């Protein structure tokens, strides 16, 4: 079974149809860091990260990881940690996306394994399936309402892939 992002506002899985949002500038065959586009292609998915202080552990076949205050995702193309999970330290002089946020966007997220095997600098980083309250467009991620995210997380398996048209 595949998750299919059919268009800028529809995500499908089996018989389920969910409203979603994507990058501000649509889809791209040639994603670049900071272009506000969602990469096209078929990708593996990674673990579910969640805020244990706000949400109980989601029911899922995926690995679940609690988001801690010092967790971030490196989005700095010049860093050796580009497109990887990192720990925020005091003298960290690189750009990153903080996972432990004041808003609720990352209370639940699934890593989309885009540009993650042989990482290419500036090809894009931190592409997640995460939460939205109002379906506003993203910097390249795909968003769902919390209720839909929790339904999807119960259905998918570790070998599920996501196809982004």
- pLDDT tens by residue, 4-38: 999 999 999 999 999 999 999 999 999 999 999 99
Query: HSE on the CB side for 102, CA within 13 Å?
Result: 0
Helix (H) or strand (E) holding 148: helix 146-155
Number of domains into which the chain is organized: 1
Residue 69 burial (C-beta neighbours within 10 Å; 0-12, 13-18, 19+): exposed
- The 10s digit of each residue's pLDDT in 47-97 is 999 999 999 999 999 999 999 999 999 999 999 999 999 999 988 899 999
Task: State which residues form the domain around 98.
Answer: 2-164
Model confidence over 113-159: pLDDT tens digits?
Answer: 999 999 999 999 999 999 999 999 999 999 999 999 999 999 999 99
Spatial contact of 131 and 107, defined as CB atoms under 8 Å apart: yes
- Under the banding of pLDDT at 50, 70 and 90, the label for residue 104 is very high
CATH number for the domain harbouring residue 66: 2.40.440.10
Look up the pTM and report it: 0.95
d(CA 104, CA 77): 26
């Amino acid at each position: 079974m595949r998750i299919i992002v059919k268009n800028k506002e529809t995500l499908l899985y089996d018989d389920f149809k969910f409203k979603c949002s994507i990058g501000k500038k649509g889809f791209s065959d040639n994603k670049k860091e900071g272009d506000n586009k969602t990469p096209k292609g078929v990708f593996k998915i990674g673990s579910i990260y969640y805020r244990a202080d706000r949400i109980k552990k989601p029911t899922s076949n995926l690995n679940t990881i609690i988001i801690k205050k010092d967790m971030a995702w490196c989005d700095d193309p010049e860093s050796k940690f580009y497109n990887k999970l990192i720990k925020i330290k005091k003298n960290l002089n690189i750009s990153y996306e903080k996972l432990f946020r004041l808003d609720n966007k990352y209370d639940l997220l699934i890593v989309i394994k885009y540009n993650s095997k042989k990482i290419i600098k500036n090809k894009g980083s931190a592409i997640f399936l995460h939460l939205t309250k109002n379906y506003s467009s993203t910097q390249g991620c795909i968003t769902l309402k919390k209720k839909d995210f929790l339904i999807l997380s119960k259905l998918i398996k570790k070998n599920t892939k996501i196809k982004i048209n």
